[in-house]
């Protein structure tokens, strides 16, 4: 490779989208130096697509010390996060899923998701607010170097590392970046995915959606009753979704094209927007951006080739029903980060990295199917909307009741996805010490917290008022519910192998209902690695298992 300058970095991340930035921050928090190459200019306005940061992602951001800053921005603090189904946005309300506004998110009770056992509830915030915070945090982190206008064109792997050819789009100069590991967080068209020979499998097109980001200062005043964050409009003319972006004047509208409408422009955009809103010719709005998209279900057949990995949209794409694409990518990043850091910090062999694909790919595949299943039901529901829904008589009332009931079930499934947040567990991993128990089943909405190895460590509030997650150590933590149980051999084994381990005596009301075993070994990504009532017969063997040796 002929290059005029060379940069050395432990990890090269391709792409500074939300997944790449999260991975960089997580790696940096574990002492790893990172370079991110991003082909867009710095401060390029992000797309307005993404509107939901899941509770689990917020837990990850809490660990990284960003959640409070993110929670402070987005919609106005008192703007309801409710999800409404209606005939049109300005028409008749059919059902409403009550979701607390940002300002009362941590204190509200009685809602369908307020009971979730988490220190960080879902945050409904648009990407235009969210991405700049991640970018600024990464840019301020001394261990992270961000190269903007830097296109990764190619890379080659050897036994010792990866050399990437990067084009400086300002000067045309070629830069060589030499790193130990390369992670493609480079989105749907991922160059890294193609380079490692991975192929997307699944359904390339479930639907086309005409999507428009608009400014409409008068819309809020036209909406009857209490406003909502999201509206699903159901009427025989045009079904669609509208979401509040800033809670004042900006909105995103999705017009779901029907079979036969095979081109994004096959339906008049302005007409569709007016039909979804229920607005006449006097209604004024301005188009900020067109962001048309395909609904798909695609999962890469592999997530890794030796020293190169893929995360986020580079590895999987699906319908935003449930608002979970980026969140799944953030979970990929949290999973991969500690394993890469463990190898670079010298306390795990490279074999630990085999766990990334074996843990994440089955979860991703299952999640992609759950989401596609609900998306198909939503599509069917839209297709079946009868003209009766707008009749001002008893037949209309009956239609609205029945469609509203079905809509509520679909809306709650998509917007209160407890299972997607907390339900999945890592089965078949080479670095988890299973004990023969099956993890509890989960669906898109339902989950059961559990200490079965592979599950997310169940959250509870400690007697001193702290979140359990704030009391965990930075890497492995041994949670002990009975302080009389000896742990010195396990602690000694971790020390012998150089594995950072914190012991935490659990002082929390009702801890035993969640933590039946005396000891639970928690990984750096807050998943359970092992549990038992006493130290295992061979603590060194256990430590070797969980560090991939
Ligand atoms: C309408 C819609 C709504 C959505 N809503 C949600 C939601 O509410 N919640 C949610 O979790 N998900 C949502 N998603 C999905 C979400 O938008 C994506 O999953 C998420 O943006 C993926 O992030 P990423 O970092 O993996 O990729 P991207 O955001 O695509 O970032 C990839 C980056 O890599 C850069 N890049 C690409 N190639 C190169 C290269 N060769 N060299 C250098 N840089 C490169 C790109 O410029 C880009 O900045 C939604 C999607 C759609 C379509």
- Whether 14 is in the pocket of ligand 1, judged by its Cβ within 6 Å, is yes
pLDDT band at 1; cut points 50, 70, 90 = very low
> Using DSSP, how many helices (H) and how many strands (E) does the chain show?
15, 21
Cβ atoms of 529 and 546 within 8 Å: the answer is yes
447 belongs to a structural domain: yes
Answer yes or no: is the C-beta of 52 below 6 A from any ligand 1 atom.
Answer: yes
Cα distance between the two ends of the chain: 35
| 3-state DSSP of 460-520 | CECCCCCEHHHHCCCCEEEEECCCCCCCHHHHHHHHHHCCCEEEEECCCCCHHHHCCCCEE
- Judgement on whether residues 461 and 317 belong to the same structural domain of the protein: no
Same domain, 434 and 526: yes
Q: Say yes or no: CB of residue 16 within 6 Å of ligand 1.
A: yes
Supply the CATH number for residue 319's domain: 3.50.50.60
Distance from residue 326's CA to the centre of ligand 1 (Å): 7
Is 532 among the domain residues?
A: yes
Q: What pLDDT score was predicted for residue 381?
A: 85
- Whole-structure pTM value: 0.97
Find the mean pLDDT for residues 255-271. Answer: 91
Tell me the pLDDT of the chain averaged across its residues: 96
Residue 337 sits in the same domain as residue 442: no
463-478 pLDDT, tens digit per residue, is 999 999 999 999 999 9
Domain that holds residue 518: 426-546
pLDDT band at 130 (very low <50, low <70, confident <90, very high): very high
Measured in angstroms, how far is the CA atom of residue 97 from the centroid of ligand 1?
27
Looking at the fold, whether 330 and 439 belong to one and the same domain comes out as no
Q: How far is CA 231 from CA 83, 244, 246, 254, 401, in A?
A: 6, 9, 15, 10, 17
Judge if 304 and 443 occupy the same domain.
no
Question: CA-CA distance, 344 to 160, in Å (whole number)?
Answer: 12
Q: Which residues pair with 147 in a beta bridge?
A: 37
SS3 205: strand
For residues 312 and 461, state if they share a domain: no
Task: Check: CB of residue 124 under 8 Å from CB of residue 141.
Answer: no
Query: In this predicted structure, what is the pLDDT of residue 3?
Result: 53
Considering the domain architecture, whether residues 162 and 48 belong to the same structural domain is answered as yes
User: Where in 373-432 does DSSP place strands (E)?
Assistant: none
pLDDT interval class at 244 (50, 70, 90)? very high
How much is the pLDDT for 45? 85
Any idea what the CATH number is for the domain that residue 504 is in?
3.40.30.120
Number of domains within the chain: 2
Confidence of residue 2 (pLDDT cuts 50, 70, 90): very low
With a 6 A CB cut-off, is 50 part of the ligand 1 pocket?
yes
The residue to mutate among 45, 187, 188, having the most atoms of ligand 1 within 8 angstroms of its beta carbon, is: 187
Cα–Cα distance for residue pair 11/308, rounded to 1 Å: 10
Q: Does ligand 1 have an atom closer than 6 angstroms to the CB of 74?
A: no
| Mean pLDDT, residues 264-270 taken together | 93
pLDDT for 382 = 85
Q: What is the pLDDT of residues 374-387, one digit of tens each?
A: 999 999 888 888 88
Per-residue pLDDT of 12-53, as tens digits, reads 999 999 999 999 999 999 999 999 999 999 988 888 899 999
Beta-bridge mates of residue 461: 467
């Amino acid at each position: 490779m002929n290059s005029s300058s060379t940069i050395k970095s432990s990890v090269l991340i391709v792409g500074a989208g939300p997944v790449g930035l999260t991975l960089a921050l997580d790696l940096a928090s574990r002492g790893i130096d990172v370079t991110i190459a991003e082909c867009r200019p710095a401060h390029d306005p992000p797309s307005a697509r993404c509107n939901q940061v899941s509770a689990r992602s917020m837990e990850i951001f809490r660990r990284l010390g960003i959640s409070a800053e993110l929670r402070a921005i987005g919609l106005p603090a008192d703007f309801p996060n409710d999800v409404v189904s209606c005939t049109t946005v300005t028409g008749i309300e059919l059902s409403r899923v009550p979701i607390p506004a940002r300002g009362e998110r941590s204190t509200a009770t009685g809602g369908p998701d307020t009971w979730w056992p988490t220190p960080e509830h879902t945050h409904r915030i648009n990407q235009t607010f969210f991405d700049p915070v991640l970018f600024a945090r990464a840019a301020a982190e001394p261990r992270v170097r961000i190269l903007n206008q830097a296109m990764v064109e190619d890379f080659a792997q050897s036994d010792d590392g990866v050399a990437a050819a990067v084009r400086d789009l300002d000067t045309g100069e070629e830069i060589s970046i030499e790193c130990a590991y390369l992670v493609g967080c480079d989105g749907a068209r991922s160059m890294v995915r193609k380079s490692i020979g991975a192929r997307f499998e699944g359904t390339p097109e479930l639907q086309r959606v005409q999507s428009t980001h608009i400014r409409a200062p008068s819309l809020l005043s036209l909406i009857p009753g209490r406003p909502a964050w999201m509206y699903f409009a159901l009427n025989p003319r045009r079904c669609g979704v509208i979401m509040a972006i800033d809670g004042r004047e900006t909105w995103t509208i999705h017009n779901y094209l029907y079979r036969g409408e095979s081109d994004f422009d096959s339906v008049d955009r302005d007409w569709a927007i007016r039909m979804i809103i229920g607005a006449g010719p006097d209604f004024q709005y301005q188009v900020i951006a067109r962001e048309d998209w395909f609904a798909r279900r695609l999962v890469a057949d592999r997530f890794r080739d030796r020293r190169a990995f893929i995360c986020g949209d580079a590895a999987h794409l699906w319908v935003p029903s449930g608002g979970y694409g980026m969140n799944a990518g953030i979970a990929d990043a949290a999973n991969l980060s500690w394993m890469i850091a463990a190898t670079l910090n010298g306390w795990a062999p490279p074999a630990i990295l085999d766990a990334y694909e074996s843990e994440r790919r089955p979860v991703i595949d299952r999640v992609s199917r759950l989401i596609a299943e609900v998306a198909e039901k939503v599509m069917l529901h839209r297709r079946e909307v009868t003209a009766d829904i707008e009749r001002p008589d008893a037949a209309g009332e009956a239609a609205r009741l029945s469609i509203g009931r079905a809509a509520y079930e679909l809306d709650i499934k998509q917007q209160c996805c407890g299972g997607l947040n907390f339900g999945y567990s890592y089965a078949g991993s080479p670095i988890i010490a299973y004990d023969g128990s099956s993890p509890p089943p989960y669906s898109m909405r339902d989950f059961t917290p559990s200490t079965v190895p592979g599950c997310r460590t169940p959250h509870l509030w400690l007697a001193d008022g702290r979140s359990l997650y704030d009391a965990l150590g930075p890497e492995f933590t041994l949670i002990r519910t009975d302080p009389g149980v000896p742990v010195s051999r396990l602690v000694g084994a971790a020390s012998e192998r150089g594995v950072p381990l914190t012991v935490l005596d659990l002082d929390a009301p009702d801890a035993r209902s969640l933590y039946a075993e005396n000891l639970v070994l928690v990984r750096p990504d807050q998943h359970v690695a092992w549990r038992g009532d006493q130290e295992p017969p061979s603590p060194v063997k256990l430590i070797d298992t969980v560090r991939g040796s």
